[in-house]
């Protein structure tokens, strides 16, 4: 989760979030490069006393400033498309978690149990719940989500997961947790008056502890 005064992104807890942070850094390098170049040209033009009022055309210049931005867009598009395909990839799941959004709580189903999860007062305001979702790390998990009433969104930033929970429809996404820990999320689709009071908490444990708790 984030801390007070934190300016960077969440520490990644899954391969997908790692790829998202790498793409963010890749895009920021491009944006900062363009900004620096444009700022340099702008300052040079402002301080330059020469003018080119009589110039009618500059085909070479126009060709250059058309081709270079196109190449920069291609440089940005390839990693973006790769990340989109990774998000949609459906690998073989060792475990399936079903989450159902309600106004205003979540209910969960795993192969061994089902339970509801309500927000409670805790150390982290608006983020703690009475029943956490316990999942094993280093295990391929498919999260399936739907809604029992209105639109919700199942979101865990540290895992790079955001899925719409739509009534009458099942959306799924792979989740692979790299590390043990507690990961917080919230509904990110405005779903009514208590939209802010339906957090998501996933606790990643060793696979042996997971099966021991499930037994």
List for the chain the helix, strand, coil content (%; round to 5).
Answer: 35, 30, 35
Instruction: State both tokens at 182.
Output: 């507690």
> Across the chain, what does the average pLDDT equal?
87
Q: How do residues 113-167 score in pLDDT, each as one tens digit?
A: 889 999 998 778 888 999 999 999 999 999 999 999 899 999 999 998 999 999 9
pLDDT at 88 (0 to 100): 81
Query: pLDDT higher for 107 or 125?
Result: 107
Fold identical between 15-88 and 95-214?
no
Q: How do residues 46-74 score in pLDDT, each as one tens digit?
A: 888 777 666 667 788 788 888 999 999 99
15-88 is classed CATH 1.10.287.90 = yes
Q: Is the pLDDT of residue 12 over 90?
A: no
Which pLDDT band holds residue 212 (cuts at 50, 70, 90)?
Answer: low
pLDDT at 94 (0 to 100): 85
DSSP run (H or E) holding 15: helix 15-47
Listed by start position, the domains of the chain span 15-88, 95-214
> What does the angle CA 32 – CA 39 – CA 43 come to, to the nearest 5 degrees?
160
pLDDT at 146 (0 to 100): 94
pLDDT at 2 (0 to 100): 65
3-class state of residue 57 by DSSP: coil
Q: Is the pLDDT of residue 180 over 70?
A: yes
Which pLDDT band holds residue 99 (cuts at 50, 70, 90)?
Answer: very high
Fold of the CATH domain 95-214: Immunoglobulin-like (2.60.40)
pLDDT at 9 (0 to 100): 79
């Amino acid at each position: 989760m984030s801390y007070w005064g934190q300016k960077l992104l969440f520490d990644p807890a899954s391969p997908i979030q790692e790829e998202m942070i790498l793409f963010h850094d890749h895009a920021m390098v491009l944006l900062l490069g363009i900004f620096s170049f444009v700022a340099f040209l702008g300052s040079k033009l402002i301080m330059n006393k020469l003018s080119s009022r009589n110039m009618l055309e500059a085909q070479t210049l126009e060709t250059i400033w058309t081709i270079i931005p196109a190449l920069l867009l291609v440089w940005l598009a390839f990693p973006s498309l790769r990340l989109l395909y990774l998000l949609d990839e459906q690998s073989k799941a060792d475990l399936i978690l079903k989450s159902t959004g309600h106004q205003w709580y979540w209910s969960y189903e795993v192969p061994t149990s089902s339970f509801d999860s309500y927000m409670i007062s805790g150390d982290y305001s608006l983020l703690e719940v009475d029943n956490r979702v316990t999942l094993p790390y280093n295990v391929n998990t498919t999260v399936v989500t739907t809604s029992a009433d209105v639109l919700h969104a199942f979101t865990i930033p540290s895992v790079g997961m955001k899925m719409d929970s739509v009534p009458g429809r099942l959306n799924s996404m792979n989740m692979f947790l790299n590390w043990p820990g507690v990961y917080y999320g919230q509904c990110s689709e405005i779903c009514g008056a208590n939209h802010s009071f339906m957090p998501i908490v996933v606790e990643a444990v060793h696979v042996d502890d997971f099966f021991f708790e499930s037994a």
